[in-house]
């Protein structure tokens, strides 16, 4: 079995997808902990803007590379590898579905080989999408999912399932200290305005004075985790001993309908935007909410930032990038105290985004 590097002192950490929304926040946090960070990114969906503040940091370096291709041998020893390299929003991962699948399968294979060479710990950022349109609610890690393996979302869902299998086979073989996290909807500053995710879509549309698009009835639900909470969970999972040897859900168990999310955005953005409804996309899940019991028990982790607070930070960030289309009074903010603590209203039997 692998011998883990000393848990104290700065490590050299590779972050694949490090210029993306989540990856760039992870790079920030790792540098703050005193580590040396190697950001590997193809920049197909990642952004130089996300890592621009780090360009002159003495412990930060960038390698432009598509992990679908083998990585050249690195001279400096790597202690940890985080694999966050894959488009995570449906419009992005469906734009080139074959490349999306290969990023998860060939890319994870290449990074696992690198982990073997360096005897480095490995963390795969998997996804709640592997649960599909779930028949179990909330979803815990023992649930095998309800998925369409040939539909338009399969390139992402099935790619992540295959990547998980590669990690656990490598762990069982004793070749890689592999860990797997299943990430539920995460939001915050540095999301791309056009990435197609529901939080960024609604905020950007409101700022531009455009209609807020809700697909389906808006009664489908999601659980929204602020990015700082998610990054904290990733780092905890990478460093916890012993290796849990099991996938771990990370997400905020507070459950909101998409219609409620839209109203919360409208309450925070000066806009005359109205809500419009469009047909529900194929295989769009009706309900999604993580069971985070395993993360609480094994990582002593649970999210701290409630949706109302996280939206304030996210709207403020987008407002700097996209000035409001017109100055109008904010909408009256209807009471949502019970929802800020993650509870649905009594009698609500609602689906998901």
Active site residues: 156
Q: How far apart are CA 194 and CA 158, in angstroms?
A: 24
Q: Identify whether the C-beta of residue 134 lies closer than 8 Å to the C-beta of residue 288.
A: yes
Q: Identify whether the C-beta of residue 322 lies closer than 8 Å to the C-beta of residue 204.
A: yes
Phi then psi for residue 48, to 5 deg, are -60, -30
Among 342, 216, 305, 210, CA closest to 265: 210
Q: How far apart are CA 122 and CA 233, in angstroms?
A: 15
Alpha carbon dihedral 52, 54, 58, 62, in 10-degree steps, equals -70
Report the DSSP pairing between strands 36-41 and 12-16. Answer: parallel
Q: How far apart are CA 65 and CA 43, in angstroms?
A: 8
Among 293, 229, 288, 289, CA closest to 253: 289
Q: How far apart are CA 100 and CA 91, in angstroms?
A: 11
Q: Identify whether the C-beta of residue 202 lies closer than 8 Å to the C-beta of residue 260.
A: no
């Amino acid at each position: 079995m692998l011998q883990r590097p000393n848990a104290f002192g700065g490590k050299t950490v590779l972050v694949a997808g490090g210029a993306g929304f989540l990856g760039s926040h992870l790079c920030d946090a790792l540098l703050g902990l005193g580590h040396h960070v190697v950001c590997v990114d193809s920049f197909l969906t990642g952004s130089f803007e996300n890592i621009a503040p780090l360009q002159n940091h003495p412990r930060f370096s960038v390698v432009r590379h598509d992990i679908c291709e083998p990585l050249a041998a690195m001279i400096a020893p790597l202690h940890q590898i985080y694999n966050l390299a894959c488009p995570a929003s449906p419009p992005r991962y469906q734009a080139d579905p074959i490349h999306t699948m290969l990023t998860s399968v060939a890319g994870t294979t290449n990074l696992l080989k690198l982990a073997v060479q360096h005897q480095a710990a490995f963390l795969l950022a998997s996804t709640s999408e592997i649960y599909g349109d779930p028949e179990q609610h909330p979803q815990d890690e023992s649930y095998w999912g309800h998925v369409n393996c040939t539909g338009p979302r399969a390139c992402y869902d099935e790619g992540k399932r295959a990547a998980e299998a590669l990690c656990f086979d490598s762990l069982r073989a004793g070749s890689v200290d592999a860990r797997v996290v299943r990430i539920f909807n995460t939001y915050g500053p540095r999301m791309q305005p056009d990435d197609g995710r529901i939080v960024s879509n609604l905020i950007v549309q409101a700022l531009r004075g455009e209609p807020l698009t809700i697909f389906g009835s808006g009664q489908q639900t999601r659980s929204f985790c602020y990015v700082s909470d998610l990054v904290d969970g990733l780092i905890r999972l990478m460093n916890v001993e012993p290796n849990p040897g099991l996938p771990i859900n990370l997400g905020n168990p507070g459950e909101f309908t998409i219609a409620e999310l839209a109203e919360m955005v409208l309450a925070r953005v000066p806009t005359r935007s109205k809500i419009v409804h469009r047909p529900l996309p194929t295989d769009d899940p009706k309900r999604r909410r993580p069971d985070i019991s395993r993360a609480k028990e094994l990582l002593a982790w649970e999210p701290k930032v409630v949706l109302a607070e996280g939206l304030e930070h996210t709207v403020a960030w987008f407002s700097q990038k996209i000035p409001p289309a017109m100055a109008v009074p904010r909408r009256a903010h209807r009471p949502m105290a019970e929802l800020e603590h993650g509870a649905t209203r009594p009698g609500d039997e609602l689906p998901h985004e």
